[in-house]
Chain A
Amino acid sequence: LAKTTQPISMDSYEGQEVNITCSHNNIATNDYITWYQQFPSQGPRFIIQGYKTKVTNEVASLFIPADRKSSTLSLPRVSLSDTAVYYCLVGDMRGGNKLTFGTGTQLKVEL
């Protein structure tokens, strides 16, 4: 399984764009990149998934460069409610969706 590295914590203010980068140097050909969000006392929640280039949905964008050795989760115009832990996961979805969580990035959004 590909190992991921992401910042332990980030701080931001409401209305700003937040970019969280994840490093996964040994990503395999069949691996997908998935991001989850977790609030205190809740289970993680799926945000976005991608394989290459750019993926966008209603809550975030995921940027993946051509070499796929890193990825960046972009949260536009964050609010206080975006304060959470964000996990980057890399894995071969064909292998039974086996995904390993790291320690994640604690994002704190302030007024």
Chain B
Amino acid sequence: EAGVAQSPRYKIIEKRQSVAFWCNPISGHATLYWYQQILGQGPKLLIQFQNNGVVDDSQLPKDRFSAERLKGVDSTLKIQPAKLEDSAVYLCASSFTWGQGLMNTGELFFGEGSRLTVL
């Protein structure tokens, strides 16, 4: 079974530039998440989609971050303009919605992440 795919794996940009990350979730997963993980910290939820609707974006810095999930499948996370403090790993995860399917634990499946360095 194919896992969550993310690209690019690594990106280095200068501050004030823009960057975009792409995520392809596991087929059939209705829920998609973007997390930001700063070195030494746990992942922080930025935005959660169910199908193509936003469930929670309370921690997304909307002045510079945007995300979309067109057609309820792939998703893109964009940062414009980037700041030094945006240096982090951006993790995409997907899951079945609770109650969807038998024996569903709501397990989140994570991709390998996209590491962003802002200089």
Contacts and interface: CB of A to CB of B under 8 A. Distances in A.
B99 interface: yes
B105 to A, nearest CB: 5
A98 B105 contact: no
Given A93-B98, A96-B48, A103 B106 contact: no
Interface stretch (B61-69, B73-81, B107-115): B107-115
Contacts of A32: 106
B24 interface: no
Nearest to A100: B45
Contacts, number: 66
B117 to A, nearest CB: 14
A43 B55 contact: no
A27 to B, nearest CB: 16
Interface stretch (A11-19, A44-52, A76-84): A44-52
B87 interface: no
20 contacts: A36-B108, A41-B112, A42-B113, A43-B93, A43-B110, A43-B112, A43-B113, A46-B109, A94-B99, A96-B50, A97-B31, A97-B97, A97-B98, A98-B48, A98-B55, A98-B56, A99-B45, A102-B42, A103-B41, A103-B42
Interface residues of B, number: 28
Contact of A101 (B31, B42, B55, B109): B42
A87 B42 contact: yes
Q: Which 7 A-B pairs have the closest CB atoms?
A: A43-B110, A101-B42, A97-B106, A46-B107, A93-B98, A93-B106, A101-B43
